Amino acid sequence: MTWIVIAEAGMLLGLAAILMRGGRDAGLEKRISERFAVLYTQPRSSQIRAGWWGRLCRRYENVLTRAGLAPDQRRLRAGVGVAGLLALYVALRHGPAAAVMVLMVGLLVFYALLQYRYRKRAELLLAQLPRFVDNLERSLAAGHSLQNALAQAAALAREPLQGILLRVKANVDLGSDLGEQLQLAANAMAVKEFQLLALAMDVHQRYGGSIKALLHSVSAMVKQQEQARREFAALTGETRFSAWVLGLLPLLVAGYMLAMNPGYLDSMWNTEAGRSVLYLALGLQAAGGLILWRMIKSI
């Protein structure tokens, strides 16, 4: 029993050291990023990694970029280390099955938080597009070039659109192509309306022609889609609320049982058959929650 306590103390000390190091590095990176605000939207050839670790890093960077967070390899390694220490701690206390379950739940919660942040940013970006297009049209009508009009419209925009456009402008000032950088930024956010706007501006940059009609059409389409989306969300609000209730009801019932009678589940946890039933219930709850989430997302 003594060696288990010593191991737990060592793991907690290691976890504290990692968190302190991460906080110090995060402060340093914040000060550096304030002075060097250019974020390249296209990876260099030396930064392209191969193998499973490279694929994991690219996926990690894409998810963080869409969520508006700066990707960092050291934070990824620190996160993997912290997760490993926590898994080892849970495995020593409750067994390997509980450690695997904790890791799965932690990853799902982390990914869900990032997706929630991305959806909020995408909604804000979509709501800002009509006003941005109107400002862009006025600047073009005043005789400015597309690049200058884009810079003026970006100065009047708000986050997250302003940050995306300022990074595009910074890369263009360094010699990159405006249409290409807009396409890369739009593909990174994966918002169809923003991708269509970037495509229209890229076509204008490459082949010329009048862009005012394209911008007017894109602005009208975005406004119509936003209005239709709000009306559809209002009509399906009862269905989405029912799905949330069905998904959260088992968790609320389990929490109530634990609060009122903690020994009820302890008797199940102390037997092999009881633990199997609890793991099966958690798996079914996770599967049901995933199905309901997909149903809500499809509405």
Q: For residue range 281-298, list pLDDT tens digits in order.
A: 888 877 877 777 776 666
Q: Total domain count for the chain?
A: 3
In this prediction, residues 175-184 reach a mean pLDDT of: 81
In this prediction, residues 192-221 reach a mean pLDDT of: 78
Q: Are residues 189 and 217 in the same domain?
A: yes
Q: Are residues 231 and 255 in the same domain?
A: no
Q: Residue 250 sits in which domain range?
A: 237-299
User: How much is the pLDDT for 131?
Assistant: 85
Determine whether 163 is exposed, middle or buried from the number of CB atoms within 10 Å of its CB (0-12, 13-18, 19+).
middle
User: How much is the pLDDT for 81?
Assistant: 78
> Does residue 34 form part of some domain?
no
Which of 25-29, 45-49, 196-200, 255-259 is modeled with the greatest confidence? 196-200
Could you give the angle at the alpha carbon of 102 between the alpha carbons of 242 and 282, nearest 5°?
40
145 vs 39 pLDDT, higher one: 145
> Does residue 44 form part of some domain?
no
CA distance 217 to 130: 11
Among residues 235, 266, 289, which one ends one of the domains? 235
In this prediction, residues 64-68 reach a mean pLDDT of: 74
> Does residue 107 form part of some domain?
no
Q: Which two tokens stand for residue 42?
A: 């296209």
Q: Are residues 217 and 126 in the same domain?
A: yes
Q: Is this prediction's pTM over 0.75?
A: no
In this prediction, residues 50-59 reach a mean pLDDT of: 66
Q: Are residues 57 and 161 in the same domain?
A: no
